[in-house]
Structure 1
Amino acid sequence: MNPKVAIIILNWNGWEDTIECLESVFQITYPLYEVIIVDNGSKDDSIQKIKNYAEGKIKIKSRFFHYLPENKPIYVREYSKDELDTSISIKENIKNPVSRKNLILIKNDDNYGFAEGNNIGIKFALNNLNSDYILLLNNDTVVDPYFLNELINVAESDLQIGVLGSTIYEYKNPQEIQSAGVKIHWNKGEVINLTQQESKYLDEPKNVDCVMGCALLAKSELFNKIGYLNKDYFAYLEETEWCVRAHKASYRIVYVPKGKIWHKGGATSNKITGFTLFHYTRNKFWFMKKHSSKQQYFSFLTYFFGFRAWMVIGGILYRQKSKEILPSFISFLKGIRDGVLT
């Protein structure tokens, strides 16, 4: 028996990326999965466009696959957040016996961020789908047809493996590795994406500190044991913080080289000036205060205010357009303020 996987894809005003991601997901070879789209209050007609795709009305063009009209229509079941909040079981409403032909569409009334948006999808999967695994997948990704097989094969090989990540390649440069697992430098508070060369990984799975949230597979049992993503983070470092909790609960976090996806990156956050600077800065302080030792936190503060902050300010002045410099600078300072004081 193959374990069942719930694939959760978060959408916010990004239907074009989302339907390309969906088409790649509906072409994977793994036999037992359900797909959940969580729409975070989009205002760009995303919901209707996604339904049009499911009906076969929108053909996808991509360098990574050929569009398959024969896997349409896809059965769409819609739920509002209010319906889910009633806590009434909706298992009987998911009627299509062929799970890979289902698309569950959860419509949030607002943008709850990456953390809580995914939490809503995770809770739905655990309460209604009896999923053995949860896969968090960014909408700006395209997946290899065999990537989920590779991840599940490794996950099933060891009961202590709780979280897994694939090799993440650059979408625009498909041979360039964006992440081969993640390493935390505690004395600097830096979360570094490893490359295959830096980490000396070949084909064998390796333990890592954490994996990128754009393609994170987790055993369902973890959410009952360590909780969900921290919704206060909203976006950035929430998957890192969650992986650290998993590690503290004695689970292995594993990078699987043969699982492959391609990631655009910044498709959502780049729409808002200062969004990344504020949330990443604030969350870094929160993360370090909660999980680092006193010595590590002091070292982090020394590094941040003595070096890193000035590098960020220099980057703002050098890279940003003139009209974006002041908003970006303010966002950075607000991130420091909220991170230190709350």
Structure 2
Amino acid sequence: MNYPHVSIVILNWNGWKDTLECLESVYKIKYPNYNIILLDNASNDESLEKIKGYLKGKIKVNSPFFDYSENKPIKFKEYLKHEIESMKDEHYMNKELILIENDKNYGFTEGNNIGIRYALDILNSGYILLLNNDTVVDNCFLNELVKVAEDDSQIGFVGPKVYYYDYKGRKDIINFAGGKQNLWKFKPSHIGYKKIDKGQYDTNKEVDYIHGCCLLARARMLRDIGLLDKEYVSYREENDWAIRGYISGWKSVYAFKSKMWHKIGGSTNRNTNLFVDYLETKNRFLFVKKYSNNLQTLSFLLYFFVFDFWIISAIDLIYFKNLRRYKSFLNATKDGIKILRA
């Protein structure tokens, strides 16, 4: 097996506890050729202090998935964002961590793009792995992703089998085994969602998209189709990336032997974070605007306003009894209509 260089891009914002557990799991993987690019999106907690403390071996990590390793200190280099913008070349040791401190919160898309540009322009990586900070990975997960990608030069994106970190005390409940999406109603769905893993999804297969929590992207493809669209800020950006890749002839493939566990919104409370709720709705309209024809757009609008609008309204007002969440949904819908009209 070939071991092309992989840059693992991890974005932190006020989530140092999750980030340390993620890092500890990554530093146990068997893949031999990688660097970690850890970006802090202008956290206003003690994230930077805690991350540096962990790298220096001053903070131990507890996890139900592994025992703490005494492989510290971990070599790292630290930069401010403006310092890397003029950088043309830099030498790094294998597995060294690059810590980049952003001057503001750039959101998920542009925050990751900063790390992706660094991986492409400075590290000249063969692959870039986007990895959410609220995840824990199997020690062979990256070997399996790269192995699948290397088998077919037209595979642009590869993703693992994603389990819930803790689903009612179980760790064998699937959250994602590949994704489906269409342009007629654009309501992406997870294959295997909330199913007990009994081996029923143990086949590598081409899918519509890969979950953004753990996504291996071929560098050659990214130079072709571009980086994440920062207009999304967060949510649905991986769907946009996948369809851009598909239009340009690149495949998205689910690799079942690669495994990881996701806390699902570890840095946000999905019930109370109004901005998350807003983006999830508004970005559906943005996606449809970019990729649907007139008939598909009409189909989406009919589906949305006949079904989704009333179901989501009932959930916000009756189930959650959350008027602010409902108003955020209305604002997102209004802004979505403006996007379609533009």
Q: TM-score, normalised by structure 2?
A: 0.93
Q: Is the 8 A contact 1:233 1:283 kept in 2?
A: yes
Q: 1:48 to 1:198 in 2, by over 3 A?
A: closer
Q: Is the 8 A contact 2:205 2:254 kept in 1?
A: yes
Question: Which segments of structure 1 move beyond 6 Å, counting only runs of 4 or more?
Answer: 196-200
Q: Is the 8 A contact 1:207 1:252 kept in 2?
A: yes
The answer for unaligned runs of 5 or more in structure 2 is: none
Deviation at 1:45, TM superposition (A): 1.1
Equivalence map 1:314-329=2 (5 Å): 314-320=314-320, 322=321, 325-329=322-326
The answer for unaligned runs of 5 or more in structure 1 is: none
Q: Is the 8 A contact 1:273 1:327 kept in 2?
A: no
Q: 1:201 to 1:296 in 2, by over 3 A?
A: farther
Residues 313-332 of structure 1: per-residue CA shift (max 9 Å, x gap): 11112343x5xx22211211
1:60 corresponds in structure 2 to 61
- CA distance in 1 between counterparts of 2:268 and 2:66 reads 26
Equivalence map 1:9-28=2 (5 Å): 9-28=10-29
2:258 corresponds in structure 1 to 259
Equivalence map 1:189-338=2 (5 Å): 189-195=186-192, 202-270=201-269, 273-320=273-320, 322=321, 325-338=322-335
- CA distance in 2 between counterparts of 1:185 and 1:73 reads 47
- CA distance in 2 between counterparts of 1:5 and 1:206 reads 22
Residues 128-157 of structure 1: per-residue CA shift (max 9 Å, x gap): 111000000000000000000101111000
Q: 1:198 to 1:283 in 2, by over 3 A?
A: farther
Q: Is the 8 A contact 1:209 1:243 kept in 2?
A: yes
- The AA in structure 2 aligned to 1:138 is N
- The AA in structure 1 aligned to 2:116 is I
Q: Is the 8 A contact 1:269 1:275 kept in 2?
A: no
- CA distance in 1 between counterparts of 2:83 and 2:331 reads 36
- The AA in structure 1 aligned to 2:50 is K
Aligned to 2:324, the other structure's residue is in SS state helix
Aligned to 2:269, the other structure's residue is in SS state helix
- The AA in structure 1 aligned to 2:101 is K
Residues 136-180 of structure 1: per-residue CA shift (max 9 Å, x gap): 000000000000010111100011111001000000131000000
Equivalence map 1:56-135=2 (5 Å): 56-69=57-70, 71-85=71-85, 87-92=86-91, 94=92, 97=93, 99-100=94-95, 102-135=96-129
Aligned to 2:280, the other structure's residue is in SS state helix
Deviation at 1:289, TM superposition (A): 1.4
Question: Is 2:142 the counterpart of 1:148?
Answer: yes
What is the root-mean-square deviation of aligned Cα atoms in Å? 1.7
Deviation at 1:297, TM superposition (A): 1.2
1:138 corresponds in structure 2 to 132
Q: Is the 8 A contact 1:278 1:331 kept in 2?
A: yes
1:43 corresponds in structure 2 to 44
Aligned to 1:217, the other structure's residue is in SS state strand
Greater helix proportion? 1
Q: Is the 8 A contact 1:41 1:111 kept in 2?
A: yes
- CA distance in 2 between counterparts of 1:65 and 1:269 reads 25
Question: Is 2:164 the counterpart of 1:170?
Answer: yes
- CA distance in 2 between counterparts of 1:201 and 1:218 reads 26
